[in-house]
């Protein structure tokens, strides 16, 4: 199974390992308008929310 971040790295070649969710959203914003950009924007947004939850201790491992 591929993780969301690995998928984003495959779709956005300029993405680096140290990029934050905010950096990822900026990479997505630079894409040409279309369905791919919209889908990646949704995924990047969810990743940002999940990451923020981890930082704030709201997401737990099951």
pLDDT digits 0-9 by tens, 21-61: 899 999 999 999 999 999 999 999 998 898 888 888 876 65
Q: Which pLDDT score, from 0 to 100, does residue 55 have?
A: 85
Convert 1-62 into a string of H (helix), E (strand) and C (coil). CCCHHHHHHHHCCCCCCCCCHHHHHHHHHCCCCCHHHHHHHHHHHHHHHHHHHHHCCCCCCC
pLDDT in tens, 43-54: 999 988 988 888
- Each domain of the chain, given as residue ranges in start order, spans 4-55
pLDDT for res 42: 95
Q: Is residue 16 predicted with pLDDT exceeding 60? A: yes
């Amino acid at each position: 199974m591929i993780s969301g971040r690995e998928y984003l790295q495959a779709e956005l070649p300029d993405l680096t390992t140290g990029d934050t969710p905010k950096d990822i959203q900026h990479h997505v914003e630079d894409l040409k308008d279309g369905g791919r950009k919209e889908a990646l924007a949704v995924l990047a947004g969810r990743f940002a929310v999940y990451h923020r939850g981890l930082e704030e201790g709201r997401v737990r491992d099951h």
